[in-house]
Amino acid sequence: MGILCDGENKIKCQRCDFSDIRALQIDHINGDGHLERKRNNGNNKKVYFSIAFRMNKEEAKKRYQVLCANCNQIKVYEDNQRGQIWKK
Question: Closer to Zn ion at the Cβ: 25 or 40?
Answer: 25
Own/partner contacts of 55-59, CB < 8 Å, gap of 24 or more, are: 57/3
CB nearer to Zn ion: pick between 60 and 72: 72
- Which of helix, strand or coil describes residue 28? strand
Q: For residues 11 and 9, what is the distance between their CA atoms, to the nearest angstrom? A: 6
Answer yes or no whether residue 66 interacts with Zn ion by CB under 5 A: no
For residue 9, how many C-alpha atoms fall within 13 Å in the half-sphere facing its CB? Answer: 0
Which one of residues 2, 16, 43, 73 is an interface residue with Zn ion (CB under 5 A)?
Answer: 16
Q: Considering the rule CB under 5 A, would residue 4 count as an interface residue with Zn ion?
A: no
15 interacts with Zn ion by CB under 5 A: yes
How buried is residue 27: exposed, middle or buried, by Cβ count under 10 Å (0-12/13-18/19+)?
buried
Stretch of 3-11, 18-26, 51-59, 77-85 contacting Zn ion, by CB under 5 A: 18-26
> Which residue's CB is nearer to Zn ion, number 55 or number 69?
69
Minimum distance, C-beta of residue 86 to Zn ion, in the bound complex (Å): 23
